[in-house]
Amino acid sequence: MSNSAQAEIRREGETAVVYANEYLNKITGEKIERECRDKIAQGCSRLLVSFRDTEIVNSIGISILLGVIDAASGANAEVVFTDVNPDTAHLFETLGLSRHARIVTA
């Protein structure tokens, strides 16, 4: 995924797959959040956020992911973080994201 105006996304029925960048920070996180909120508004009931290319998630990225979880929760949509590397999975566990979203490691 490049630093273009939108995040790379795929939609399959009621499931949207959003691909995170190598570095999840404010700029890329806001793109992901915008796409996720758009897909929820369009009726998606499941959001898969793929971290297949992500090496680093900073604190702002974490807070944005919490915003995605909150938006999905308000719409009764499921959030799954996929292809998460072990270090990032540990970070998500430590910060409690795993209580609100399913985490699938790479």
For the stretch 15-65, pLDDT in tens is 999 999 999 999 999 999 999 999 999 999 999 999 999 999 999 999 999
CATH number of the domain located at residue range(s) 8-105 in this protein: 3.30.750.24
Instruction: State the amino acid at position 86 in one-letter form.
Output: P
Strands, DSSP E only, in 1-106? 8-12, 15-19, 23-24, 46-50, 56-57, 78-84, 102-105
Binned at pLDDT 50, 70 and 90, residue 6 comes out as low
Burial 6-45 (b: 16+ CB within 10 A, else e): ebbbeeeeebbbbbbbebbeeebbebbbbbbbebbeeebe
Give domain limits for the chain.
8-105
Band (pLDDT 50/70/90 cuts) for residue 5 is very low
Mean pLDDT score, 58-74 = 96
